[in-house]
Structure 1
Amino acid sequence: MERKKQWMIYGMLTLATSTWGSAFIAGKIAIESFEPATISFLRFFGAALLLFPIMWLVEKDIPKPTKKDWGMFALLGLTGIAIYNICFFLASKHAPVIKSSLFIAANPMLIMLLSGVVLKETITKRNVMGLLLAFLGVVTIITEGNMMTLIRFQFELIDFVLLGAVITWALYSVLGRMVLRKYSSIVSTTYAVGFGTLFLLPFSLFEKPWEHVATSTWPAWLAIAHMSVFVTVLGFILYYYGIQKIGAAKASIFINVMPVSAVVMATLFLGEKLTVSTMVGAFFVLSGVYVGTSVRRRKEEHTSHAKTG
């Protein structure tokens, strides 16, 4: 892969995971007017309304899905859209933010492991070292530099919900890589979101969303619109495009950018204080992403000579 194109893909993945960081801010605003499953349903329903016309306009020769393909799309919608979001919002309501964030931060490790076992992707020492560096940075940000916080945690039932969120997102990333061998990132994302929206509907109806519409605020609707357009449509397409081009293991390292962007946005928009531990953590995250995704130039030159020679 050309170095210029490689950096463009890294830029896309950074943009995608940065927009996911803004979901924490938007979610805080939306939760004041609606219940968790309803927010998820409205977010993905709005995204589906945008994605299907985009797919029909942009994609000219979409392969006709087989029964197995439809099953895979449904599985993507069930894991990465429906179950993940239900688990995530349940955890955000009933678990400490620190604990939730730590579980989500462990996601790239599981994705890398599954990518190596299921997809037979090559996992290099630099990938692992970069991932560990980035994880250390995320832990530093979440605990505010006080690692003793981790020892105080006790096992609770909500931990199973958090574990469910981690597993379903890892499955979404790895299964998505298999689907991307036949379909583009736009097609894969569109069908996954379509199925995910259908799966979320009964959970939303159970929360009786119509009762909350009258008391809902404009900021809440704008927050949901932001999550539909930027976090879902833009973020998910770019993330899947990155997986398609560089693999699920390597792309997963960029997930660590999400808590950094969330902290930066919380500082800018919610007036939260930017601490030294946050800046140190951000440095580790960015260093980890760089180490985990960079390839030794000597190795690249050797590969190019071998191809031309």
Structure 2
Amino acid sequence: MNKNKKLWLIYGMLFFATATWGSAFLAGKVAVKDFEPATVAFLRFLGAAILLFPLMWLMEKNRKKPTLKDYGLFAVLGLTGIAIYNICFFMATKHAPVIKSSLFIASNPVLIVLLSGLFLKETITKNHMIGMVIALTGVTFIITDGHLLSLFQYGFETIDFVLLGAVISWALYSVVGKVVLKKYSAVESTTYAVAFGTIFLFPFAYVETSWHDVQTASVSTWIAISHMSIFVTVVSFIMYYYGIKEVGAAKASIFINVMPLSAVLMATFFLGETFTLAQGIGAAFVLTGVYIGTNTKLFRRKLQAA
């Protein structure tokens, strides 16, 4: 496979992964009807861990034995991207307005790009910045349905600390993940991160959930949790980590803007919500921003042609 074809395959995987994450908004809303946020997160990643370990043993025959330092990095990944992020995410799903929570999550690429430049010394190009601004503009259009002034309707609330925690923890997860991927594959990194995250989540789930809650949970809740375990976690996390390894955390993070777009489309399809003109304009902005942000030679070509 030539370099260009491989690159487009990686971009396709990142697009699929982040689009699948959009379904977590819908699945999360279903699951938190029967369980508290930390329990939903624990059950999601417990299911993922049960699937990931056999997958890792099957796919990675020549696995490296992690050192104590490696386990420390895996623990950081589990604490940030699995435990803290998901507790914050499901709390926001339950208590925060969709406009506010979606916009906070959509700001992730900005922080990831800044941290990648600061700690990983990744080059932050003009394309990164322009693409990110255009995509974030599109996300704002989608979330507010074109009514940009609605952003100012919400004052500062306690839940904002939770949302800020989600953004910071995911940015740290992406940046530390890039360090881990220098030594371990996407499957290994995801498996160990999920394992540590599940361990960190267990005490919260144990305290807030009874065996009666587990027995009386609806079928739709278990389907939602299974979907998040298999597709949103196992499949998508591996694809996202592989993308970070191949193109860098800064460039991969631009695709996070696809998540709210997919959430809106899924809500239209599955919940019967209306897809508006403003959302269509926002979708065009998101796709344009992702294209510009990942096509590093775009402006160089134009300058050469001029």
TM-score (structure 2 length as normaliser) = 0.95
Distance (whole Å) between structure 1 residues aligned to residue 137 and residue 296 of structure 2? 21
Residue number in structure 2 paired with 1:248? 249
> Following the alignment from structure 1 to structure 2, what is the Cα–Cα distance between the partners of residues 171 and 209?
32
Q: Partners in 2 of 1:295 and 1:266 — Cα distance?
A: 33
The size of the alignment, in residue pairs, is 300
Where 1:214 maps in the other structure, the secondary structure is helix
Any idea what the Cα deviations from partners look like across 1:88-119, whole Å, max 9, x if unmatched?
11222222111111110100000000000000
The C-alpha deviation readout for 1:153-177, integer Å capped at 9, x for no partner, is 2112221111110000000000000
Which residue matches 1:3? 4
CA distance in 2 between partners of 1:259 and 1:298 (Å): 27
**Distance in 2 (alpha carbons) for counterparts of 1:141 and 1:6:** 28
CA contact (8 A) 1:114 1:174 kept: yes
What TM-score do you get using the length of structure 1 for normalisation?
0.94
Q: How far 1:298 sits from its partner (Å)? A: 9.1
Matches within 5 A, 1:1-309: 2-296=3-297
Q: Per-residue deviation at 1:214? A: 2.8
- Distance in 2 between residues matched to 1:213 and 1:177, nearest whole Å: 37
**What CA distance in whole angstroms lies between the structure 2 residues aligned with 1:213 and 1:6?**
44
Matched to 1:102, the amino acid is L
Give the Cα–Cα distance (whole angstroms) in 1 for the partners of residues 255 and 245 of structure 2: 14
Distance 1:8 1:286 in 2: 16
Displacement of 1:32 after TM fit? 2.1
1:28–1:93 CA distance, 2 compared to 1 (3 A): closer
What percentage of residue pairs aligned between the two structures are identical? 64
The worse-fitting range, judged by mean Cα deviation, of 131-140 and 152-161 is: 152-161
| 1:299 Cα deviation after fit | 5.7
Q: What secondary structure sits across from 2:75 in the alignment?
A: helix
Return the letter of the residue paired with 1:86: I
Residues 270 and 65 (structure 1 numbering): CA distance in 2 closer, same or farther, change over 3 Å? same
Aligned-partner residue type, residue 288 of structure 2 = S
How far the C-alpha of 1:297 sits from its partner, in A, is: 6.4
The CA RMSD measured in Å over matched residues stands at: 1.3
- SS of 2:22's partner is helix
Query: Is the 8 Å Cα contact of residues 133 and 285 (structure 1) preserved in structure 2?
Result: yes
Matching residue of 2:304:
none
In 1: Cα distance, 2:197 partner to 2:152 partner = 36
Q: What is the deviation of 1:67? A: 0.7
The 3 A distance-change label for structure 1 pair 129 and 89 is same
- Are 1:37 and 1:86, in contact at CA under 8 Å, matched by a contact in 2? yes
Secondary structure in 1 matching 2:216: coil
Q: Whole-Å Cα distance in 2 between the matches of residues 67 and 260 of structure 1? A: 40
- The superposition leaves residues 104-136 of structure 1 with CA deviations (integer Å, 9 ceiling, x where unpaired) of 010000000000000000111011100000000
Seen in structure 2, the aligned counterparts of structure 1 residues 181 and 268 have a Cα distance that, compared at 3 Å, is same
What residue is the counterpart of 1:303 in the other structure? none
Partners of 1:250 and 1:25 in 2: how far apart? Answer: 26
What are the superposed Cα offsets for residues 66-98 of structure 1, whole Å, 9 maximum, x if unpaired?
111000000000000000011111222222111
List gaps (5 residues or longer) in structure 1.
Answer: 301-309
Which residue identity does 1:40 align to in structure 2? A
